[in-house]
Amino acid sequence: MTSKLRFFNTLSRQLEEFEPIDEGKARIYTCGPTVYDFPHIGNYRTFLFEDVLRRALELFGFEVTQVQNLTDVDDRTIQRANENGVSLREFTDRYATAFFEDLATLGVEPAEHYPRATEYVPQMVEIIKRLEAGGHTYRSDGSIYYRISTFASYGKLSGIRPEKNLAGARIDVDDYEKEDARDFVLWKAPKEGEPVWETDLGPGRPGWHIECSAMAMALLGETFDIHCGGVDNIFPHHENEIAQSEGATGCEFARYWLHGEHLVVEGEKMAKRVGNFFTLRDLVEKGFDPLVVRYLLISVPYRQRLNFTFDGLHAAEQAIDRIANTLRRLANTPQCDGVGDLDQATVDEFHKDFRESLGDDLNTARALAALHTLLRRVNTALDEGGICGERRAAVDVAFKEADSVLGIFPRNDAEAGSDAEIDLLIDERKAARANKDFARADEIRDELSAKGIVLEDTPHGTVWHRE
């Protein structure tokens, strides 16, 4: 069985086989949300790619330690908290809670650690002190800046060379107190209306980039395996993280850098003023099953831009229904002893294709194709006489494997088939059909249909389920 996992490493711009630092273990850092508003579906596209990553690592036998931070102190959180007239903590708590609710709604497997930036200030101070000792910093107006000219490999992740990249680029003119426009702030001087930490560095608050370096190193060590985020983070955020972390420790920060492409909506960049900006809650309110949203967001490989459309949501809805229908057929069809049986080779082929697809830089489109092929073969076997007990167990294992990574199998909302009132009507309809009283039979079916109950007459009796 294939057990190779290969990822496209932004650092090398190549596919590389994953080899962890510690045998059998994978330590990964995933940039989390800034908790100043409800995350949008674009945020979740990235978080779901990371969820698939951790689940795939687990399928391939790795013990995963994942850290996903919450940025709860930065320009936006401070500004919004002030606008709302509540404390920073109270304000960010609201959206942290919403974030965790959304993760549960989407069936995201929880990370091992969800550190909040405000709880790691001492660790940030420690790193900045090391950087100061190493001559990587300078102070200006009470703030501390990173002098990127002291970090020779600055730009190795993004390919951006500051000196070659000035003409035409927009430069942050507000930061006039910096020696070089590309330098970035590590520690911000106190300001009216902003929270202040009294530290060895003097009073102030952390810059955004240092937060991730501190949380990552505190929980995963100075060197760890995989660092993820959205493509927009490559520069400057991740570039700066590398400069800070490696500048302080002298050793490699993260070995594999994986970046998720963005999504657009109906071909356009998502923006509130365009009216194509959606949060998960917006879609749930419109009546879409979160599982459908999950399916759509993971159906396109993570390095490919995803065009989120309502047509696409509809297609995902159909695909989810197909899975549910097949599971229901499987449950309602008696086992047979061989006729029209499913070949074990078919199941084996699924496992092979599925793992190869995921191993190939998390190719979820191919993994889904493998699943759909298995679904079709299972249905064909059911049509042709059934599946024997032994093979059925193998199919269960295969489905379980698919679901363990994709997380798109509908939960058996049980009860289907055990409502006394409905059963009574079905019995009556059965009698009517036996008497060829199809008018009455159809009347009963329509009546149930109006209540969202769908009847199916199978060779093994009538079954029902909710729409």
Partner RNA sequence: GGCGACGUGGCCAAGUGGUAAGGCAGGGGCCUGCAAAGCCCUUAUCCCCCGGUUCGAAUCCGGGCGUCGCCUCCA
Question: In the range 282-341, which residues lie near RNA by CB under 7 A?
Answer: 299-301, 304-307, 309, 311-312, 314-315, 318-319, 321-322, 325-326, 329
Is residue 235 near RNA by the rule CB under 7 A?
Answer: yes
| Nearest C-alpha neighbor of 361 from the set 18, 116, 40 | 18
Among 454, 460, 461, 466, binds RNA (CB under 7 A): 454
Among 17, 83, 85, 167, binds RNA (CB under 7 A): 167
Among 365, 393, 397, 431, binds RNA (CB under 7 A): 365
Is residue 260 near RNA by the rule CB under 7 A?
Answer: yes
In whole angstroms, how far apart are CA 242 and each of 118, 154, 202, 214, 257?
21, 8, 24, 11, 11
What is the closest distance, in whole angstroms, from the C-beta atom of residue 295 to RNA in the complex?
9
In angstroms and rounded to an integer, the radius of gyration of the C-alpha atoms of the chain is 27
* Residues paired with 229 in a beta bridge: 259
What is the closest distance, in whole angstroms, from the C-beta atom of residue 312 to RNA in the complex?
5
In the complex with RNA, which residue's Cβ is closer, 20 or 445? 445
Is residue 169 near RNA by the rule CB under 7 A?
Answer: yes
Is residue 86 near RNA by the rule CB under 7 A?
Answer: no
Is residue 346 near RNA by the rule CB under 7 A?
Answer: no
Is residue 171 near RNA by the rule CB under 7 A?
Answer: yes
Euclidean distance between CA atoms 407 and 411, whole angstroms: 10
In the complex with RNA, which residue's Cβ is closer, 20 or 375? 375
In the complex with RNA, which residue's Cβ is closer, 11 or 455? 455
Euclidean distance between CA atoms 41 and 281, whole angstroms: 9
CB 40 within 8 A of CB 99: no
Among 164, 272, 273, 411, binds RNA (CB under 7 A): 164
In the complex with RNA, which residue's Cβ is closer, 20 or 245? 245
Is residue 375 near RNA by the rule CB under 7 A?
Answer: yes
Q: Phi first, then psi: give them for residue 452, nearest 5 degrees.
A: 85, 15
Which ranges in 206-343 belong to alpha helices (H)? Answer: 208-220, 239-249, 280-285, 290-299, 310-332
User: What does the DSSP assignment read for 111-143?
Assistant: PSB--BGGG-HHHHHHHHHHHHHTT-EEEETTE
Is residue 254 near RNA by the rule CB under 7 A?
Answer: no
CB atoms under 10 Å from CB of 10, counted, come to 21
Count of residues touching RNA (by CB under 7 A) = 83
Is residue 216 near RNA by the rule CB under 7 A?
Answer: no
Residues of this chain, 28-57, that bind RNA according to CB under 7 A? 31, 33-34, 40, 42-43, 45-46
CB atoms under 10 Å from CB of 61, counted, come to 10
In the complex with RNA, which residue's Cβ is closer, 137 or 299? 299
Is residue 214 near RNA by the rule CB under 7 A?
Answer: no
Beta-carbon contacts of 61 under 8 Å, excluding residues fewer than 6 positions away, are: 3, 24
* Residues paired with 65 in a beta bridge: 27
Among 246, 247, 360, 426, binds RNA (CB under 7 A): 360
CB 370 within 8 A of CB 350: yes
Tokens 């709302």 — which residue? 84
What is the closest distance, in whole angstroms, from the C-beta atom of residue 16 to RNA in the complex?
15
What is the closest distance, in whole angstroms, from the C-beta atom of residue 198 to RNA in the complex?
25
Residues of this chain, 127-146, that bind RNA according to CB under 7 A? none
In the complex with RNA, which residue's Cβ is closer, 129 or 281? 281
Euclidean distance between CA atoms 353 and 377, whole angstroms: 15
Q: What is the DSSP letter of 342?
A: P
| Nearest C-alpha neighbor of 367 from the set 350, 392, 343 | 350
Q: Which stretch binds RNA (CB under 7 A): 105-113, 194-202, 262-270, 285-293?
A: 262-270
In the complex with RNA, which residue's Cβ is closer, 20 or 308? 308
What is the closest distance, in whole angstroms, from the C-beta atom of residue 166 to RNA in the complex?
7
Q: Which stretch binds RNA (CB under 7 A): 74-82, 100-108, 119-127, 399-407?
A: 74-82
Residues of this chain, 413-442, that bind RNA according to CB under 7 A? 433, 438, 441-442
End-to-end CA distance of the chain: give it in Å, rounded. Answer: 39
In the complex with RNA, which residue's Cβ is closer, 140 or 373? 373
In the complex with RNA, which residue's Cβ is closer, 20 or 395? 395
CB atoms under 10 Å from CB of 346, counted, come to 18
Among 111, 186, 218, 263, binds RNA (CB under 7 A): 263
Is residue 206 near RNA by the rule CB under 7 A?
Answer: no
| Nearest C-alpha neighbor of 132 from the set 231, 247, 235 | 247
* Residues paired with 16 in a beta bridge: 7
Among 65, 92, 233, 346, binds RNA (CB under 7 A): 233
Is residue 161 near RNA by the rule CB under 7 A?
Answer: yes
Is residue 379 near RNA by the rule CB under 7 A?
Answer: yes
In the complex with RNA, which residue's Cβ is closer, 21 or 160? 160
What is the closest distance, in whole angstroms, from the C-beta atom of residue 159 to RNA in the complex?
4
In whole angstroms, how far apart are CA 60 and each of 30, 64, 184, 452?
19, 11, 39, 41
* Residues paired with 70 in a beta bridge: 116
CB atoms under 10 Å from CB of 3, counted, come to 9
